[in-house]
Chain A
Amino acid sequence: MTTTVRNVVRVAPPPAGPSWRGRLRAPAVFVLVAVLALVVAPLLLEPFRLGLLAKYLCFGIVALGIGLAWGQGGMLTLGQGVFFGLGGYAMGMYLKLHDAGGDLPDFMVWSGVEKLPALWVPFENPVFAVAFAVIGPVVLAVLLGSLVFRQRVRGAYFAILTQALAAATVILLVGQQGLTGGTNGLTNFFDLFGQDLAADGTQRGLYIVVAAVLGVLYLVAWQLVRSRFGRLLIAIRDGEDRVRFLGYNPATVKTVTFAVSAGMAGLAGALFVPVVGIISPALLGVVPSLELVVAVAVGGRFSLAGAVLGAVVMGYAKTSFSEQFADGWLYLQGALFILVMTLAPKGIFGLAATARDFVVSRRPRTGRPLMSTGTADIGGPLIEAQEPRA
């Protein structure tokens, strides 16, 4: 084929592909973090702190899903708490029934329920409970996503709808005292698969399970982001209508991504319950859902690692600050959030990438454009995903 268009604009040759060192850096960091999390932390941390870390890592799993849906796909989901709650309640129901050993769970007795509700019966089976913790959220997300995305409801509208779902779910759970434990939720668990939940060994084991699940899911998300699917997701985030004219149906891609993030949140919820020992409406409403989004924004929504890091850091900050001065935490959280959105909308990771690019761009030999291309491998575009103005 003859080349008909010659490009006379001289541009510096593109940077050569990353060196083997560059290519190994990300996996090396991952392995390092994995060793720290799976080996060093359990050895160094006392059980109480390890339990807290396990809790933050559960939030990290939810954040991973938010990073995927929002950072990569542009779907700001303010209802992840609902999926987290579905997973949590599924697990909580199993634990309650297991502890009750054939009798009615304690709170039902207090509420005057006489017969085990049909809804609860299948949750006597642990396999069903765990499967439901993932499949339930996925089904709900597919249902909601396909209805909403098919109609091209997106951006802020989608955010509002997911928030409304979170609000409605909380009210529903609180109102069904006999079925859900109402405001108190499900708590007082004693035994997990024959292990005493209060025992240090069980908690340590749980921590390792949580950390391993997070690691595996991170790899899954990472693979997804680097694949063609991930490119497609970014394309949809930045120009959904244009993607249609490439022959793709954005609704399908978005629904799948939303479902994956919901499944992650559900699994996180199921892990959270034995770790923390409670699931209640207060843990999954509008505020906790938003808090996780905030955490992702603080960490850096365009990078999966940033999302997870944000969740862990914010979880830690919340615990330590509200231990000291409970009221101050809200000011601090609000102020931190205002600052991050105003000064560093790409979060901590975005700041780091900008700083690195700044250093790189000052080196004369590279012909890189001033406009940052972001952290390429994590799929880190630095321009915010925004709905274009109508």
Chain B
Amino acid sequence: MEAIVNQLPIGLSIAAVLLLIALGLTFTFGQMGVINMAHGEFIMAGAYTAYLLQGWAGRQAVLVALPVAFVVAGVMGLILERVAIRHFYGRPLDTLLLTWGVSLVLQQLARDLFGAPNVQVRAPEWLQGGVGILPYNRLFIFALAVGSVVAIWGYMNRTSQGRRMQAVMQNRQLAAVSGINTGRVDQRTFFIGSGLAGIAGVALTLIGPVGPALGTYYIVDAFLVVVAGGLGQLRGALIAAAALGLLNSYAEFWTNASLAKVIVFVVIIAFLQIRPQGLFVLKARALT
């Protein structure tokens, strides 16, 4: 019983990070048919942003880094979208391979810029300690994810930009002939999605070291969140991230770390037997 409680904050903070990462993936996948393997490197960029800002902001770097990392990662995403990905819309498999090439280059770049060994970002003093079993740093990550989801939800449903984004996601052609500049909407989606990955990167500095391969540890799980949650679905991503984060941490705790991923994989496959298109689906009648 005690174990269940103790493991909860770990599971929830992992879930929170997964959610931040998966949101960008699910929107770019759902809206543009793009599988962005370089998304993991936006996480890494966010984390290194926090690392670099230490020189200037000291222990408050994490706080300062949140908006900066959002912009840094967002701009990286925007550049990637403009330079390469937009030529590949609707070809998810090709974008997957293309962006993997980008991911390789970015990882090597990080290795050359910051060195191969991991670096540490020192957490602000006010994030040390905790209430009861709840460490402040994990609470902070959790709050960060909640805040981001609320912001995204508000953006999508309460702003005209967000509604345009939903329109493009549901029916690109119809949106285009209705006078929506789909190219601009795509850019915004990419910027926001990548920016969220940057925030996830900052969050990860609170619970572990930063290295060039940081993104690769989370990208596969984040994609599983997208698969289980359904394409372009905020609700789906939310539930799937929570489920996967918790399942991961409890499976690791009760069996051992090496079996946990296999268990998660089997659970996903089993889940797809019931919901092959994920939790939530945009209904459309079309035949290939």
Contacts and interface: CB of A to CB of B under 8 A. Distances in A.
Partners in one complex: yes
Interface of A: 76, 144, 147-148, 151-153, 155-157, 159-161, 163-165, 167-169, 171-176, 239-242, 286, 290, 293-294, 297, 327, 330-331, 333-338, 341-342, 345, 384-390
Contacts of B94: 341, 345, 384, 386
Contacts of A171: 257-258, 260-262
Given A147-B273, A389-B90, A390-B286, A337 B268 contact: no
Contact of B223 (A155, A164, A165, A338): A164
Interface residues of B, number: 52
Nearest to B256: A175
B269 interface: yes
B220 interface: yes
Contact of B220 (A152, A164, A333): A164
Nearest to B232: A390
Given A171-B261, A334-B105, A345-B94, A160 B216 contact: no
A327 B223 contact: no
A180 to B, nearest CB: 10
Interface string B260-288: 11101100110011001000001010111
Contacts of A163: 220, 223
Interface stretch (B56-64, B96-104, B133-141, B189-197): B96-104
Contacts of B176: none
Contacts of B216: 286
Interface core residue of A242, A333, A341 (most chain B CB under 10 Å): A341
A342 B99 CA distance: 11
Contacts of A390: 231, 282, 284, 286
B163 interface: no
Contacts of A286: 216, 220
20 contacts: A148-B269, A153-B276, A160-B220, A164-B220, A164-B221, A164-B224, A164-B261, A168-B261, A168-B265, A171-B257, A173-B258, A286-B220, A293-B97, A297-B97, A334-B102, A337-B100, A337-B101, A337-B104, A338-B101, A388-B90
Contacts of A239: 288
A157 B227 contact: yes
A293 to B, nearest CB: 7
Nearest to B170: A390
Interface in B81-121: 84, 87-88, 90-94, 96-98, 100-105, 107-108, 111-112
